[in-house]
Structure 1
């Protein structure tokens, strides 16, 4: 990948709302060159999606429950973890799925309206899969930082140090 392509990729990752004219100025390319790079990266699935980071705790009646579920599975001969991972990520509740190292094999992130809904997903859908040996569920209590964005309460906007004689 060429240097200007990497620069464009990093800019879009940091702010998916940047327009082509702005990106062109920042990387010293023409708008046509930037658009061609973006089209190429989208076609190659390097850029998979453009997304906003939303602080749902500030939206009335929309706050739900997010759970991170550690899953231990038996890998399948010839396909490893891929087959069971595909079965898991096809559930509509699954927001993210990662193959991880350590005591567990997969880390599943799901969103639900209530803790009971999450419990139902784990007991009725996830744990019933043949390859799943065990699960451990963790509930998100508060978000401090997500995708590089710091979530602040905004209560203490004045960051100055108090100086007294």
Structure 2
């Protein structure tokens, strides 16, 4: 397997479990641990791998409120959506920022200690930003799956019933 193919396989495996040991990656990919370690360092240096994160069961953690906020913005001359997206991403409450297609331009994931914290962020910080035309806030009530991982305790699998 060439280096590019190995890198794709490494990324796919790390996306599923970022704590998988290099030795196990090497065994799965029929390579050496040293080669895998070097390729991971290269992926990090090239900013293909930009960090590692844990998938947290929100119900077990408690105390955090998450919301999805759709933001309509006025693009800026020469930089389009980039400048305002980067500016909004600097707020500590903002966990993620995406440029999306559809009715709104940006999708933010915001974290607060309460619904009031998130509402306060929207009204006092977000809505007053230059270029922000409109917002729509959706509070996340329950997480079922994140990053390909089922969150529920009892992952129940039932085969589809075939009816003649």
Could you tell me the TM-score, scaled by structure 2's length?
0.91
**Partner of residue 125, structure 2:** 125
Indicate the residue corresponding to 2:98 in structure 1.
Answer: 98
Query: 2:158 and 2:79 mapped to 1: Cα distance?
Result: 56
Aligned to 2:141: 141
SS in 2 for 1:2: helix
Q: Which ranges of 4 or more aligned residues in structure 1 deviate by more than 2 Å?
A: 157-161
What aligned pairs does 1:1-150 form with structure 2 within 5 A after superposition? 2-59=4-61, 62-150=62-150
- The secondary structure found in structure 2 opposite 1:134 is strand
How far did 1:56 drift?
2.3
Range 5-14 or range 86-95, more displaced:
5-14
Partner of 2:162: none
Q: Which runs of 5+ in 1 are unaligned?
A: none
CA RMSD of aligned residues (A): 1.6
Question: CA shift at 1:153, angstroms?
Answer: 4.1
Give the whole-Å Cα distance in 2 for the aligned partners of 1:12 and 1:125. Answer: 36
Distance verdict in 2 for CA 1:120–1:41, change over 3 Å? same
Deviation for aligned residue 1:4: 1.4
Unpaired segments ≥5 residues, structure 2: 160-164
Q: Tell me, yes or no, if the aligned pair for 2:58 and 2:143 is still in contact at 8 Å.
A: no
Aligned residues, how many?
157
Query: Distance between the aligned counterparts of 2:53 and 2:138, measured in 1?
Result: 25
